[in-house]
Amino acid sequence: MEDRENLMRGYLAAWNDRDASRVASFFAPDATYEDRGAGAVLHGRVEIEAHAARVHGGFPDLAFELVRAAHGERFTTAEWRSKMTHAGTFEGLAPTDRVVESAGVDVATLDEDGRIVHLASYYDGAEIMRALGLLPDRGSKAERALVRAASALSSARRRVARRDERHTTPGSG
């Protein structure tokens, strides 16, 4: 299991060294990377490398810390913490110079050669958006107003759907 621990340490070190090519090298050629916090699915080393390069471009001081890891015969997991400054354009968002701290868990399925064939990265993407100023602070007046507006919209849609249901005759629809 020490090789699994070294795999995760090396993988996070590649991120910390801002080496997108090395990040991708931990994956099998046809691997899948699911970034659950961002809602992105990447296929193959080329897409994974491009993703890592985009993240490094937007957050050039990104630093991961391995909190703990757990391993099995064909998988490894890592709980991590990260800290980064939004100093470059990322996904169209101009730099905010805000410092973002995050925590998450990566779960990697490995092939017989110890390469990652599937990785799912779980973290709170909404919390990162809050830190970047894209969403209001949790519990703030602005967040409560957004919840009220979304609730009103949802209620209106349900009323319209029920009204449409009542006005549809059998065979007309």
Domain residue ranges in the chain: 2-135, 137-173
pLDDT digits (tens, 9 = 90+) for 37-78: 999 999 999 999 999 999 999 999 999 999 999 999 899 999
Q: Alpha helix (H) ranges present in the chain?
A: 2-16, 20-25, 44-58, 125-131, 141-166
pTM of the model: 0.81
- Chain CA centroid to CA 16, Å: 17
CATH of domain 2-135: 3.10.450.50
pLDDT digits (tens, 9 = 90+) for 109-156: 999 999 999 999 999 999 999 999 998 888 889 888 888 888 888 888
- The first and second tokens of residue 154, run together, are 């949802």
Gap between the Cα atoms of 172 and 133, Å rounded: 48
Find the mean pLDDT for residues 163-172.
Answer: 73
At 1 the pLDDT is 57
Of 1, 25, 28, 32, the C-alpha closest to 11 is 25
